[in-house]
Chain A
Amino acid sequence: EIVMTQSPATLSVSPGERATLSCRASQSVSSNLAWYQQKPGQAPRLLISGASTRATGIPARFSGSGSGTEFTLTISSLQSEDFAVYYCQQYNNWPPDSFGQGTKLEIK
C-alpha cells in the first residue's frame, strides 16, 4: 500500500498571502493524484485531479503541480473561505487508494 505524507501538518498564513502545501508518495503514482478541501462539518470537495487539473468551479487561485512522488498544492492569494483542511489522495495503485493525513491551513 502506498503511503502519502503531507507537510506541514499545520500551516499558518495571512489572508492575501500565498500558501504552499506538499504531498509525497512512498512510490510513484504517476499523475494520479488529487487534492481535496474539507471545511468543518462538511464533506470533502475535489479541488484538483490528475495532479494539476482544477475541478469544475474551482477558482484559478488553486493550482497543483508535480508527478511521480512529489506534489504541491498552491493557493496564490488566500481568501477567508480557503482556511480548511486539505488532503491529497493517490488513485494510481488501488485498491486501496491512500489519503495523506491532511494539512490544516489556519489564519495567521
Chain B
Amino acid sequence: EVQLVQSGAEVKKPGESLKISCKGSGYSFTGYWIGWVRQMPGKGLEWMGIIYPGDSDTRYSPSFQGQVTISADKSISTAYLQWSSLKASDTAMYYCARRPVVPLGAFDIWGQGTMVTVSS
C-alpha cells in the first residue's frame, strides 16, 4: 500500500525548536516530490514548500521562506519540516503529500497530518 505516515502531535512552547517527519512506503521515494501544506485551525490549505528527495532540490513559498526548513533522507524514505524558533502563530495541522516528478502532477497521496500546538 502506498502511504505517507507522519509523526505524532506535538505541544511546544514559543521559542522552542521542532522537526516533524513524513515517511513514505509502498513506492519509489525518489520518484516523487514531497510537499508540505499548512492548515491553521478552521482555515484553508497553504502550500509551504516542496523537496525532491533524489537530489534534495527544495523550493519554498515566499510566505514560508526563512521561516521553516524542509529536508529529506532518501536512505530512510523520510522528509522533514523543521522550525528553529516556534511562534504561537505556527499552531496548525501540517500535512505532507507526494507529487509526481514527471509528468507534472497534483498531490495524489497525503499523510494523515501532524498537529503542532505552540503555547506558553
Q: In chain B, residues 47-95, which have Cβ atoms closer than 8 Å to a Cβ of chain A? A: 47, 49-50, 59-63, 95
Q: Which residues of B sit under 8 angstroms from A96, Cβ to Cβ?
A: 47, 49, 59-63
Asked if residues A99 and B60 are in contact (CB atoms below 8 Å), the reply is no
Asked if residues B105 and A1 are in contact (CB atoms below 8 Å), the reply is no
CB distance from B51 to the nearest CB of A (A): 11
A72 within 8 A of B: no
**Distance between Cα atoms of A101 and B46 in the complex (Å):** 9
- A98 nearest CB neighbor, chain B only: B47
Q: Which residues of B sit under 8 angstroms from A99, Cβ to Cβ?
A: 44-47
**Distance between Cα atoms of A97 and B44 in the complex (Å):** 14
Interface range for A: 20 to 34
Q: Which residues of A sit under 8 angstroms from B61, Cβ to Cβ?
A: 95-96
Q: Which residues of B sit under 8 angstroms from A32, Cβ to Cβ?
A: 104
- A85 nearest CB neighbor, chain B only: B44
Task: Identify the A interface with B (CB < 8 A).
Answer: 1, 32, 34, 36, 38, 43-46, 49-50, 55, 87, 89, 91-92, 94-102
Task: Identify the B interface with A (CB < 8 A).
Answer: 35, 37, 44-47, 49-50, 59-63, 95, 97, 99, 104-113
**24 pairs across A/B with beta carbons < 8 Å?**
A1-B62, A43-B95, A43-B111, A44-B37, A44-B110, A46-B107, A46-B109, A49-B105, A49-B106, A49-B108, A50-B106, A55-B108, A91-B99, A95-B47, A95-B49, A95-B60, A96-B47, A96-B49, A96-B59, A96-B60, A96-B61, A97-B47, A99-B45, A102-B45
